[in-house]
């Protein structure tokens, strides 16, 4: 196999990142075993036809690009709903339904997008500027849309000619192209929108290599090859069948037994077993997102409300929060909980992001200093802390390791498990001390920061509010120069790291298990397997 540019990039940046991170003094285990290739684009010849059975790790929500909020939903969209823009193997933005990158004018306040010509929706109707306007307006103005924040900067969408749309912005907003490379840039068939209305998600029609063919609730989603796709000659498979298999061990077992040929998001404790099977292979993707925990420091009455004081030892004292973080050994956590398969870090942007300043460092475990800070705080030990945790096995394992590590520094963590949705609720409402939470990640750093760490951001469960965070992030969104943006994001992230509303632990890598007979799957940093060129090896 030729090393793809992505693999080379990963190999170059990884040691640097680990050195920067300190590694907690235990060892220099690479984030992923070297035998697992990261982002793949394999070029073996592929035969025509066949059904690919794919195991999904969760049940997607409504397949409506305007309201979908799940990562698994994006996995399905990636093969059914193309967007104005996309990312390639090196996370660079490229045109997809657009014919070229957007042209900026009026100091960045006007964005002109030329569309690819001759594109048809999967129901045979034409994808033109009118259709784009209808979809973008639905994304940004429909009251139930979850895309409103993504497109908040857009004040008007105009049809210039059938192949050109013009977006007017209230202020320059560089992350817009990245937003249009995600669900906010998915274009839906106006015909289907007219007939299905709010229930579009039950029978979605977009433009893409595969079209929606049916869904059995909680069990499977079927896509079929689209005859109307503009690049139909590239598409080899007849059918994709997504089977929802939540239990990671069962997912792995079904892959081994051949009931599915691809399994997404293998649990880290099943990766080795899949890898050792002679018929199977594992590729890694992802890394844009992060996982860690939030500490409630100002979320008194809801994350989108005005922040207020929090009367808990950790909420009141930055020193105790520092002690809490210093008690943790990120490398040991990665090993104990994730078999060492994630990328340890303490910042929200990916290790190889061009927006990441080179001078970011992570604290090592320092138990002596942690104990000293606890003692200096004068709070009687053990200091009680509750840790809200989703009730799946892996999160509980993480919670118990945090519990045991911080105990040594004088904290008494009680783990409180609840279903995932309840934990999110608690987070939004501010009803927690410490809460495990993560983010699936976006290509533009703005997507990993604005809603998550700025004042009254909807996912800023910690209730952080600091001009040292808010201002540079706002400035960076209007800035087009990469180096300047990196500097601004760097200063915001350093401030956030001092405040410790979010303590980042690692970037989650996704492991895709596949049968060796399956070729042509594209698996990038966003962790969404693309099957447009996939098929069974000839």
Partner 1 sequence: MLWFILRRCGSAVLVLFLSSVLIFLGIRALPGDPASVMAGQEASPAAIEAIRKEFGLDKPLPAQYLDYVGQTLTGNFGRSTQDQLPVADILAERLPVTLELSLLAMLVAIVVGVGAGIVAAVRRGKFADYVATGFGLAGLSVPHFWLGLLGILLFAVTWRVLPASGYVPFTEDPAGNLQRMILPALVLGTGFAAILMRQTRSAMLGALSADYVRTARSKGLSEAKVVGAHALRNSLTTVVTVLGLQLGALISGAVVTEQIFVIPGFGKLTVDAVLTRNYPVIQAVVLVTVIGYVLVNLLVDIAYAFLNPRIRLSGGSRD
Partner 2 sequence: MPMAGLVLVVAFVLLALIGPLVTGDPAAQDYLATLAPPSGAHPMGTDDLGRDAFARIAHGAQVSLQAGVLSTLLAMVVGIPIGLVAGFYRRWLDPIVMRLVDVTLAFPFLVFAVGLAAIIGPSLKGVVLALGFSQLPAIIRITRGEVLAVREMDYVAAAIADGAGDGHIIFRYVLPNCASPLIVQATVAIPAAIIGESTLSFLGLGVQPPTPSWGVMLTTAQQYLSDAPWLAIWPGLMIALATLGFNLLGDGLRDVLDPRSHR
* Total residues at interface with partner 1 (CB under 8 A): 43
Q: Is 482 helix (H, G, I), strand (E, B) or coil?
A: helix
Of the pair 114, 243, the CB lying nearest partner 1 is at 243
Q: State how far the Cα of 70 lies from the Cα of 420, in Å rounded to an integer.
A: 13
Residue ranges of alpha helices (H) inside 378-442 are 393-407, 420-429
- Angle at Cα 181 formed by Cα 179 and Cα 187, nearest 5°? 100
Show contacts with partner 1 in window 236-275 (CB under 8 A).
245-247, 250, 253-254, 257, 259
Residues 38 and 7: beta-carbon distance below 8 Å: yes
274 scored as a contact of partner 2 (CB under 8 A): no
Q: Which residues inside 384-423 make contact with partner 2, applying CB under 8 A?
A: 391-393, 396-397, 399-401, 403-404, 414-419, 422
In the complex, minimum distance from the CB of residue 431 to partner 2, in angstroms, rounded to a whole number: 11
Tokens of 32: 């992923």
Asked whether position 428 contacts partner 1 by CB under 8 A, the answer is yes
In whole angstroms, give the CA distance from residue 16 to residue 21.
9
Q: Is 448 in the site for partner 1 (CB under 8 A)?
A: no
**Interface with partner 2, residue 429, by CB under 8 A:** no
Sketch the per residue contact string, 195 through 234, with partner 2: x for CB under 8 A, - otherwise. ----------------------------------------
Is residue 426 within 8 Å of residue 511, measured between CB atoms? no
Q: Which does 476 bind (CB under 5 to 8 A by kind): partner 1, partner 2, none?
A: none
Measured from the CB atom, the residue of 96 and 451 that comes closer to partner 1 is 451
CA atoms of 181 and 183, how far apart (whole Å): 7
Interface residue with partner 1 among 47, 144, 407, 484 (CB under 8 A) is 144
Q: Which of 269, 275, 458, 475 binds partner 2 (CB under 8 A)?
A: 269
Among 31, 41, 62, 271, binds partner 1 (CB under 8 A): 62
How far is it, in rounded angstroms, from Cα 208 to Cα 231? 9
- Within 13 Å and on the Cβ side, how many CA atoms surround 447? 25
Residue 164: name the closest of 102, 81, 121, 107 by CA.
102
- Give the one entry of partner 2, partner 1, none that residue 146 binds, where binding means its C-beta sits below a cut-off of 5 to 8 angstroms depending on kind: partner 1
Q: Minimum distance between the CB of residue 149 and partner 1, rounded to whole angstroms? A: 7
What is the β-pairing status of strands 518-519 and 535-536?
antiparallel
Contact 42/249 with Cβ under 8 angstroms?
Answer: no
Instruction: State the helix-helix crossing angle for 482-499 and 445-453, rounded to 10 degrees.
Output: 30
Give φ, ψ of 449 to 5 degrees: -125, -55
Under the rule (CB under 8 A), what is the footprint of partner 2?
A: 248-249, 267, 269, 273, 332, 335-336, 391-393, 396-397, 399-401, 403-404, 414-419, 422
Residues lying near partner 1 in the complex (CB under 8 A) are found at 59-64, 67, 69-70, 143-146, 148-149, 198-199, 201-202, 215-219, 245-247, 250, 253-254, 257, 259, 304, 419-422, 424-425, 428, 451, 458-459
């Amino acid at each position: 196999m030729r090393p793809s540019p992505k693999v080379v990039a990963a190999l170059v940046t990884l040691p640097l990142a680990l050195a920067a991170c300190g590694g907690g003094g235990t060892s220099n285990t690479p984030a992923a075993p070297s035998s697992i290739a990261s982002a793949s684009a394999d070029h073996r010849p592929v035969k025509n036809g066949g059904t690919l059975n794919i195991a999904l790790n969760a049940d997607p929500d409504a397949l409506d690009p305007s309201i979908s909020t799940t990562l698994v939903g994006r996995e399905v969209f990636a093969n059914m709903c193309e967007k104005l823009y996309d990312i390639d193997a090196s996370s660079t933005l490229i045109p997809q339904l657009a014919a070229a990158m957007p042209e900026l004018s009026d100091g960045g306040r006007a964005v002109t997008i030329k569309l690819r010509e001759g594109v048809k929706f999967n129901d045979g109707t034409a994808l033109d500027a009118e259709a784009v306007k209808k979809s973008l307006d639905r994304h940004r103005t429909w009251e139930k849309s979850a895309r409103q924040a993504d497109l908040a900067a857009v004040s008007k969408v105009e049809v210039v000619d059938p192949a050109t749309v013009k977006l007017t912005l209230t202020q320059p907003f560089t992350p817009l192209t990245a937003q249009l490379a995600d669900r906010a840039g998915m274009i839906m068939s106006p015909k289907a929108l007219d007939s299905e209305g709010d229930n579009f998600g039950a029978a979605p029609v977009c433009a893409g290599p595969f079209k929606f063919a049916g869904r059995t609730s909680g069990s499977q989603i079927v896509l079929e090859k689209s005859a109307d796709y503009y690049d139909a000659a590239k598409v080899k498979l007849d059918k994709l069948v997504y089977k929802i298999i939540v239990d990671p061990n069962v997912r792995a077992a079904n892959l081994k037994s051949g009931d599915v040929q691809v399994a997404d998001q293998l649990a880290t404790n099943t990766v080795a077993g899949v890898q050792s099977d002679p018929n199977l292979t594992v590729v890694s993707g992802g890394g844009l997102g992060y996982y860690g925990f939030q500490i409630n420091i100002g979320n008194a009455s809801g994350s989108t409300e005005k922040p207020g004081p929090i009367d808990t030892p950790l909420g009141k004292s930055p020193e105790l929060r520092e002690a809490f973080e210093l008690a943790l050994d990120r490398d040991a956590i990665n090993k104990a909980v994730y078999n060492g398969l994630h990328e340890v870090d303490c910042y929200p942007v990916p290790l190889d992001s061009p927006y990441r300043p080179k001078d970011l460092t992570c604290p090592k475990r320092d138990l002596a200093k942690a104990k000293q800070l606890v003692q200096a705080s004068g709070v009687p030990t053990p200091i009680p802390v509750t840790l809200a945790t989703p009730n799946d096995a892996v999160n509980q394992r993480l919670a118990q390791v945090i519990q045991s590590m911080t105990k040594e520094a004088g904290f008494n963590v009680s783990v409180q498990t609840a279903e995932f949705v309840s934990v999110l609720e608690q987070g939004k409402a501010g009803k927690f001390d410490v809460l495990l939470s993560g983010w699936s990640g976006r290509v533009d750093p703005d997507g990993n920061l604005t809603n998550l760490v700025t004042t009254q951001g909807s996912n800023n469960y910690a209730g952080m509010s600091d001009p040292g965070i808010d201002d540079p992030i706002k400035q960076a969104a209007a800035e087009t120069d990469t180096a300047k943006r990196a500097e601004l994001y760097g200063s915001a992230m350093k401030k956030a790291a001092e405040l410790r509303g979010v303590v980042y632990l690692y970037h989650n890598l996704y492991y895709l298990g596949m049968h060796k007979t399956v070729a042509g799957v594209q698996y990038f940093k966003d962790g969404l397997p693309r099957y447009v060129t996939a098929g069974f090896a000839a």
